[in-house]
Amino acid sequence: MIDALEDNLVDRRDPQRVRHSLASQLRTVVLQRAMGWIDLSDTDTLRRDPLWQLACSGARGTTPLAQDRPSQATLSRLPSCLGHHDNIDTVHEGLLR
């Protein structure tokens, strides 16, 4: 589902400054909620956990262990990006699929 959304989401951020793709952020938020970690303040605790890094990444093997996970501040900006008129239809359609 995340991969299908990623192909259609519009990321208006400056590409030179993007450290975490929208797909990476979505994976993190969806898994946090699925595991009962509703409050984004838990993000900093989770982002240093190796199992969490593997679960939230789209990469295979041990590559995710060398990648940072999005911070709480980054994830707190995700809803406004997804709610932008370029993305809202994509999110709705992706969730329905």
Chain segment 21-72, per-residue pLDDT in tens: 888 898 899 888 888 888 888 888 888 888 888 888 877 788 888 888 888 9
Cα gap 37→56, rounded to integer Å: 14
For the chain, give percent helix, strand, coil, nearest 5: 55, 0, 45
- pLDDT over 80 at 97, yes or no: no
Q: What is the pLDDT, as a whole number, of residue 46?
A: 85
- Helix and strand numbers (H, E) in the chain are 7, 0
39 versus 76: the higher-pLDDT residue is 76
Considering the entire predicted model, what is its pTM? 0.80
H helical segments located in 1-97:
2-6, 22-34, 43-46, 50-56, 72-76, 78-82, 88-96
End-to-end CA gap in the chain: 8
